[in-house]
Amino acid sequence: MAAIVRDREPDDLDVAASALIAVHRLAGYPVEGVDGPVAWLSPAGLLHAWVAVLDDTVVGHAVSGQARGPQEPSPQVQRSPRTTADGTALVTRPPRRPAPTVTSQP
């Protein structure tokens, strides 16, 4: 079965926050920790948020936000051990199972 990507709903935040804590435990991301996972998933400047859902379970989360400008990378990028020379953060997911096929839902 393929995962779907849909707009995040308020009821998705607790599940996404739990998943963020699990990812941090397994992969060390986000590098600054997850003391406030719901706030971390809803940063200042948030433009939109989505979740990936597989078998009625939230399995992923993505956000878009307002850019801080070319000279001001986010604190997460500045401290991340997984950055490229141009400051782009490299995001990985812990190896658990093959990634599902994702289809977008309007």
CB 3 within 8 A of CB 97: no
pLDDT in tens, 45-69: 899 999 999 999 888 889 988 876 6
Give the structural domain span for 23: 3-104
Per DSSP, the chain holds a count of helices (H) and strands (E) of 3, 4
Q: How many domains does the chain have?
A: 1
Q: How many other CB atoms are there within 10 angstroms of residue 21's CB atom?
A: 14
User: CA nearest 16: which of 33, 39, 45?
Assistant: 39
Q: How far apart, in whole angstroms, are the C-alpha atoms of residue 95 and residue 73?
A: 27
Instruction: Read off the pLDDT of residues 6-47 as tens digits, 9 standing for 90 and up.
Output: 999 999 999 999 988 988 888 888 888 889 999 999 988 899
